Chain A
Amino acid sequence: MIAAMPDYQAAVDDFVTRLRRRQVEGSLITAKLTAELLRQVVSHQRLPNVGQAAVLIDVVKSVGLRMIAANPIAIAAANRSALRAPSLHNLLESIPDPVKTPEAPAASVGDSDSKSRSGDRNSVSWKLKHNVIEGITELLQDLDDYHTHVAEQALEHIHQNEVILTLGRSRSLLKFLLEAKKKRSFQVVVAEGAPRYQGHTLAKELAEKGLQTTVITDSAVFAMISRVNMVIIGAHAVMANGGVLAPVGMHMVALAARRHAVPFVVLAGVHKLCPQYPHKPYTLLNDMKSPAEVVEFGELSECFAAGTGDHTTYVVNPTFDYIPPDLVSIFITDTGGHNPSYVYRLIAEYYSPEDYFLQ
């Protein structure tokens, strides 16, 4: 396929291994690292004289496939955006025919930079790489900034003396709430979010900033939600039908919110969009972690020791929950608020159709 370039190959291998071992977790981190890695790949890749864009695309795809194989879920969203080959595809259009002006599809990061360059091939090849790298850099910038854009909309949604419920911890949510706190006073109820218990961390952070916070167990969500005005969560990924991949426990919160007619708001940066449609999401789009997080081995062995005979016990520890689109009231992204039914349009904007499936 592509001549192996030892410089970046080691980096790719390292990243892939870390993905497989789940040492890299979280959509933002994954996206950033993926983007940086791709930037490295692109900059080191030597391009032949002809068909450069195709070569680049192939390289990126091969790297991407390896990453997806390592951790399908983390990559499902993050990688997609980083692998936004639309920029490459546009370049592909532009290169063979220097005259044709590439049409950058709307608003994709870095796409608009795919200016068509006419000129000799060397300069073209250099510029192609340059454009792509610029595009990726802008993408990275976006990943850093999207919190701010999302948080800017906080004041429109959170009002005085409201009670907000959330589960677990999300960085965009933290910024969102702190932004609203500057002008309004309200309370937050945080459910712990077993088995990671990141809700504890979020509650501590919020309380330190002076927000009235109450920590509850996940089982108490239904009990408390009758007094809650809004549920706001951060998503791990947003699927093409508007469904949400979120940390485990969110589906229950969404059901309880619908029962009590509480708006269910999902914060998602555009980089979390995924062009895949979720088939059997609980099984195929899930990550089963070690049972040790749920029950310590000592406990379980005590249970086994208590009896005789053939024991079969399964301890399930899924990482993600799938929330169907009809339970979501609104998505707040860095480009504004959207309905779940609008997500497919966003995907069309940011992805070219050839890239929906990496194979």
Chain B
Amino acid sequence: MDSRRRAPVIGPKVRQVGFVTPNADSPGEGVMEKEAGNLTTNSPTPVTIAPTRPVIEIPHSLKADPVAVPSPSHRRGNEVDIPSAPTASYNPNDSVLDGSSLPSSKGGSTINDVYGSLVSESVAESSPLGRPTGSTVGAFAERVKQKTSDSAIGSAVIDGGVASGKPGKGSKANNRGIPALSSSDAKSSEAPADGSKPLKERTSKAERRAKQEADRAAKLAGKGTGGGAGGDPNAQTKNSKGKKDNAPEKKSVQAPEKKGSDKSSENQKKKEVPAPRLQFDDKERVAKSKRRSLVEQTETKNRVELFRHLPQFVYGTQLPSLEAKFFQDDAMHPHPAVYQVGLQYLTGDIVGGNARCVAMLMALRSMIIDYETPPEKTLVRDLVTRTNNHVNFLITCRPLSISMGNAIRLLKAKIAKLDPSLPEAEAKASLIADIDTFMLEKIVFADKEIVKHAVTKIRDGDVVLTHGYSSVVEMILVRAKEMGKKFRVVVIDSRPKLEGRRLLRSLLSKDIHCTYTHTNAVPYIMQEVTRVFLGAASVLANGTVYARVGTACVAMVAHSCGVPVMICCETYKFHERVQLDSITSNELGDPDALVKVAGRKESALEGWADNEHLQLLNLTYDATPADYVSMIITELGMVPPTSVPVILREYRKEPAV
């Protein structure tokens, strides 16, 4: 795999992925522009992969290291230099992510204060400590192996756990890691719960490794081949982190002693298959996860049969128990910043993939800043445990979005790869630097790029249709208006969240000519529409767009009327799982939200819960098939939906390395 990456694909010229606008405003487009000159007709280039990563336009300081580990002093200095490109007014403080123009009551605070504090904090911080960019093979191999073999939490949760990071899945995965850990007690020399750790004598690493292997061998012998799927998912979760059920596993475990990088790459190979998620109709696993969960939740009555595999709890019941636990002095109890973010998720104050991800990362960042390694524990392992606990807490407030899941996966990978010999302050600083880089690169700069590409698709006289509220689409429309294009916007809204009103408000404040209507009237209004821009929660590996419910309807009608559909999505939201319909994975919202109709005093559905034959279904997401999508606009360019797995494979490896 390494050799494949090093060898240039075709000659010395670096190709870009998919469509890229040839005439961009900003001069420093970097490698992407090299070919732009050749693309006089902007004809489609074959989707080839650049051999090295730094084709993404990032400020020169960040470009130096593909893994984005810049010398911190440069990076710090450049915080204020960010708005170099003349596209969106991208002073981060002024970015449209800044929701200050939105009334706070209506779920307005998105990335506003959250992101503002990012910039100020990172500028204020002054820890110019580097991070080990490479690791010596030997020591690192040990470390990695140690991590994967010893701590079931570490890798299991990193890859198997939050591999999908989907709603409903996340909780299972994380919890699977933990029960897996407990059941592997016999094997693992590490104690599962934090409490038992200080009591245990620290054996040497070699001894522990030997013991691990002996246990594992015994277990494999006992299990035999092809142990049934039923009892084994727990076991398999541990195995998914790189151990396999058969002999080659042992070899791969021993191999890293020779080549550390190989081991991690093998791990990644195994990790590539997303582990099976917790299905909520699987009673035993649900019971196990319940035992581990921080918060009691009551399940709703009148559940829709078709969705039994997704969790649905009565909304509002979490709050009292959350409050009760807040003041417990417990190692498991969440950091106040995380607690606050969790509450904001619960009440719906923070919605949207980007906003939730940034809020969570900022909260985890505060947690890391305040973190102190307890005595007798290593930072790496304990921090991973802490992170897991916090993430579990967030999941109980609201299931993870895919963007959040990917970010957590990355964060845990970074933690896992910390050099254990680093002093705590340095380790923390490097983690914080990683988080900051991730947010800047994957969200802020990515959005900038997307806006730059997308505004070229809006011409004078266009009628642009959009659905619900997407932060990226809002940025695009605002930017197009700033550039002086004459167009008008149709905003489609859908119950029960009515997020389109938020977009309507913000567009009206920028003097954009708007039309507003509900989902049912889309075929009526589609006659006048020339472009459709939609945001997404994620794009899956088979090109399916996983977005707010209603997106599929809009895309279908647009497709039948011959209107191009453009999905605007950052690449960090891409996910390697596949989904054919909206039922296999979704998030179930509060069914009572359907009962109340705006503007009416009484509702016909009052007391629906009393009738056992009546169920209400409030889906949050739906899956739009790839053939309805004309193109996906990402920071890497404008690509067809078929390029998504390519991007996943080639560009997502790097952050994990």
CB atoms of B494 and A217 under 8 A apart? yes
Give the residue name and chain of the A residue nearest to B624 (CB). Answer: A222
CB atoms of B514 and A215 under 8 A apart? no
CB 8 Å contact bits of A275-299 with B (1 = contact, 0 = none): 0000000100010000011111001
Interface size class of A (residues with CB under 8 A): 35 or more
Q: Identify which of residues 218-274 in chain A touch chain B, using a CB-to-CB cut-off of 8 Å.
A: 218-224, 226-227, 248-249, 251-252, 255-256, 259
Which of B33-41, B116-124, B247-255, B595-603 is near enough to bind chain A?
B595-603
Q: Is A334 an interface residue (CB 8 A)?
A: no
CB atoms of A207 and B516 under 8 A apart? no
Give the residue name and chain of the B residue nearest to A222 (CB). Answer: B552
Residues of A within 8 A of B506 (CB): 306
Q: Is A48 an interface residue (CB 8 A)?
A: no
Q: Is A28 an interface residue (CB 8 A)?
A: no
Residues of B within 8 A of A120 (CB): none
Q: Identify which of residues 170-217 in chain A touch chain B, using a CB-to-CB cut-off of 8 Å.
A: 192-195, 197, 200-201, 203-204, 206-208, 210-217
Which of A10-18, A130-138, A311-319 is near enough to bind chain B?
A311-319
Do A252 and B604 contact each other (CB < 8 Å), given the known contacts A194-B495, A316-B524?
A: no
The CA of A322 and the CA of B46, in the complex, are separated in Å by 42
Q: Is B204 an interface residue (CB 8 A)?
A: no
Residue of A195, A200, A212, A256 near B518 (CB, 8 A) is A195
Give the residue name and chain of the B residue nearest to A189 (CB). Answer: B617
CB atoms of B495 and A219 under 8 A apart? yes
CB atoms of A210 and B613 under 8 A apart? yes
CB 8 Å contact bits of B509-522 with A (1 = contact, 0 = none): 11101111111111
Q: Is B527 an interface residue (CB 8 A)?
A: yes
CB atoms of A316 and B519 under 8 A apart? no
CB atoms of B504 and A303 under 8 A apart? yes
Residues of A within 8 A of B598 (CB): 296
Residues of B within 8 A of A302 (CB): 103, 505
Give the residue name and chain of the B residue nearest to A202 (CB). Answer: B604
Residue of A226, A248, A252, A299 near B557 (CB, 8 A) is A252
CB atoms of A251 and B495 under 8 A apart? no
Q: Is B101 an interface residue (CB 8 A)?
A: yes
Residues of A within 8 A of B101 (CB): 306
Q: Identify which of residues 509-542 in chain B touch chain A, using a CB-to-CB cut-off of 8 Å.
A: 509-511, 513-525, 527
Q: Is A6 an interface residue (CB 8 A)?
A: no
Give the residue name and chain of the A residue nearest to B607 (CB). Answer: A204
CB atoms of B615 and A213 under 8 A apart? yes
CB 8 Å contact bits of A304-347 with B (1 = contact, 0 = none): 10111111111111100100000000000000000000000000
The CA of A295 and the CA of B504, in the complex, are separated in Å by 11
Do A251 and B508 contact each other (CB < 8 Å), given the known contacts A208-B611, A215-B614?
A: no
Name which of A206, A219, A292, A294 has the most chain B CB atoms within 10 A of its CB: A219
The CA of A192 and the CA of B520, in the complex, are separated in Å by 10
CB atoms of A321 and B524 under 8 A apart? yes
Min C-beta distance of B192 to chain A, whole Å: 39
The CA of A210 and the CA of B614, in the complex, are separated in Å by 9
Residues of A within 8 A of B273 (CB): none
Residues of A within 8 A of B617 (CB): 214-216, 220, 224
Residue of A200, A293, A313, A315 near B508 (CB, 8 A) is A313
CB atoms of B582 and A223 under 8 A apart? yes
The CA of A193 and the CA of B582, in the complex, are separated in Å by 20
CB atoms of A314 and B508 under 8 A apart? no
Give the residue name and chain of the A residue nearest to B621 (CB). Answer: A223
The CA of A116 and the CA of B219, in the complex, are separated in Å by 98
Residues of A within 8 A of B48 (CB): none
Give the residue name and chain of the B residue nearest to A259 (CB). Answer: B556
Residues of B within 8 A of A255 (CB): 523, 556-557, 560
CB atoms of A286 and B516 under 8 A apart? no
CB atoms of B605 and A215 under 8 A apart? yes
Q: Is B622 an interface residue (CB 8 A)?
A: yes
The CA of A255 and the CA of B599, in the complex, are separated in Å by 30
CB atoms of A307 and B527 under 8 A apart? no
Do A204 and B525 contact each other (CB < 8 Å), given the known contacts A223-B583, A252-B553, A252-B557?
A: no
Residues of A within 8 A of B510 (CB): 307
Give the residue name and chain of the B residue nearest to A217 (CB). Answer: B495
The CA of A193 and the CA of B520, in the complex, are separated in Å by 8
Residue of B522, B582, B594, B613 near A212 (CB, 8 A) is B613
CB atoms of A211 and B519 under 8 A apart? no
CB atoms of B511 and A207 under 8 A apart? no
Min C-beta distance of B501 to chain A, whole Å: 6
Residues of A within 8 A of B519 (CB): 194, 218-219, 249, 252
Q: Is B185 an interface residue (CB 8 A)?
A: no
Q: Identify which of residues 599-657 in chain B touch chain A, using a CB-to-CB cut-off of 8 Å.
A: 599-600, 603-605, 608, 611, 613-619, 622-623
CB atoms of A213 and B513 under 8 A apart? no
Min C-beta distance of A257 to chain B, whole Å: 11
The CA of A210 and the CA of B612, in the complex, are separated in Å by 9
The CA of A194 and the CA of B516, in the complex, are separated in Å by 14
CB atoms of B583 and A316 under 8 A apart? no
Residues of A within 8 A of B549 (CB): 217, 219-220, 223
Name which of A201, A218, A226, A292 has the most chain B CB atoms within 10 A of its CB: A218
Do A256 and B605 contact each other (CB < 8 Å), given the known contacts A194-B520, A248-B521?
A: no
CB atoms of A207 and B611 under 8 A apart? yes
Do A203 and B509 contact each other (CB < 8 Å), given the known contacts A217-B496, A218-B520, A292-B599?
A: no
Q: Is B260 an interface residue (CB 8 A)?
A: no
Residues of A within 8 A of B517 (CB): 294, 315-317
Min C-beta distance of A286 to chain B, whole Å: 7
Do A223 and B623 contact each other (CB < 8 Å), given the known contacts A217-B496, A282-B524, A314-B515?
A: yes
The CA of A193 and the CA of B524, in the complex, are separated in Å by 15
Do A226 and B523 contact each other (CB < 8 Å), given the known contacts A215-B617, A303-B501?
A: no
Residues of B within 8 A of A310 (CB): 511
CB atoms of B520 and A203 under 8 A apart? no
Residue of A223, A306, A314 near B619 (CB, 8 A) is A223
Min C-beta distance of B402 to chain A, whole Å: 17
Min C-beta distance of B433 to chain A, whole Å: 38
CB atoms of A294 and B495 under 8 A apart? no
Residue of A193, A248, A299 near B501 (CB, 8 A) is A299
CB atoms of B515 and A307 under 8 A apart? no
Residues of B within 8 A of A220 (CB): 549-550, 582, 617, 619, 622
9 A–B pairs (Cβ distance < 8 Å), ordered by A: A215-B615, A216-B619, A218-B550, A248-B520, A249-B519, A259-B556, A307-B508, A315-B515, A316-B517
Binding site for B on A (CB under 8 A): 192-195, 197, 200-201, 203-204, 206-208, 210-224, 226-227, 248-249, 251-252, 255-256, 259, 282, 286, 292-296, 299, 302-304, 306-318, 321
In order of increasing CB-CB distance, the 10 nearest A-B pairs are: A219-B550, A307-B509, A249-B520, A223-B582, A207-B614, A219-B494, A200-B604, A222-B552, A223-B622, A207-B613
